[in-house]
A and B are shown apart, each in its own frame.
Chain A
Amino acid sequence: MTLPAVLVLFLFTLGPALYAFFLSLFSWSLLNKMHYVGLSNFAFIFASHLFWTAVWNTASFAFIVVPTQTLVALFIAVLLNQNLPARGFLRLAFFFPAVSSSAVISIIFMWIYNKFGILNGLLAVVGIHGPNWLANPLFALKSIMIMNIWTTSGYFMVVFLSGLQAIPQNIYDAAEMDGANSWQRFSRITVPLLKPTTFFVVIMGVIGTLQMFDQSFILSGGTGGPLHSTTTLVLLIYQYIFSYGKVGYGAAVTVILFAFTMIATLIVNRWLGKSIEY
């Protein structure tokens, strides 16, 4: 009964992961004959400036986006968990971007970030002369970060909301009886009891941001520009196959990306994963 599922999962998830290790030891352009080169693909990658730029871009993307989206999501969820009018509507409004297509959202933001777009139009009202966001290496990646936070916060908000609703109300009532103010109730009850949810949100955030591709690809027209400022590791993998025809290099970056993801997950696990007992 599990056979079809196991077959497909093996063919398109586990198998590829193993296959990447194998391919990273070969030199191959998809068209010529493969030949074994040992670890020299890795030597090339580690000596390549472009690779380190991609590592820097991917890491800073994760470092800024994950904490911000987690805090924004938690903030909105806590507010939404109050007894407020139009809760259903508000939840819907925050969640909707997360179910829309990343391609469509990227196109919409490309238009918003345009030099003569609505963002600069709004900034002009308060007297700020906005840059050409996506064509400026200083701002391009930051623009994608903002877009990404805008898209995913609402999704993680719903995750937090379901975590919040699992906390029994009588704990809050008891704390209030004992004279705890609302900040104390938040920091002493909500935050510790939400830890499993926070763990999940951070892990999914880390995994998601380290694999960022669609937004960079679309907003930079596939180049990772300007000046490689939006080249992420996955975009680099894509370019190694489709622009440079270097399967071995791409596979080596894939293997390195696995390692990074694993290390990041372990760190998060160390930090948030332990004390789930309460």
Chain B
Amino acid sequence: MTVARHPAELELLALVEGELSRGAAQVVEEHLGACAACRAAVEAQRAARALLRAAPAVPPLAPQEVQALVRALPAHARPTPWWRSRPVLVGAPALGLAVAAAAVVISLSNGTPESRPTALEAAAPATGAPSAKAVPPAAARAGYGVPDAATGPGALLGAVAGTPARVVALLRARGIVATARDGQVLVREADGPRARAALATLPSGPVRVLVR
């Protein structure tokens, strides 16, 4: 290999990954000795590789979050053996979950579910019942309290950390129309239950979110 003929990108990648045969690696190494551009490219690969691999793992969901999530999974997704089938009394939270789950249409492509509602949307009760059982799993985090009642205009849906603009962005990202006004955040009455569920995933703070 001459200086004029640079190794292909994939050859350089293979060199960095130690995937080249000894002979092929030697040829590329010889080229690197004479070509500053390729040497720099390989150094860049090695530097980025090392940084990415040294990046610390991100803290996972807390065990209690996982437990709360698993417990809140819609029961109807589980096949019930015929000998266990019998009329079941469902409370409001269970009904809410079942209704929400029914709305989650799973379409499979090679067995993989595609674009669907968020976990919040899937797990949140359709009625917005304030029961802790009906709140999405993330709400189970300690200290993420929301008021128990959310009714008409002026009702307090929650008070969370951050800035009004940030809270508006978070709510909008969940499809909830929100506006910041006078240091507070206002949402439509119809979005109240969903806003409550979203706020339940945030830590308490000074930004008040109200029904407008």
Query: Does A pair with B?
Result: no
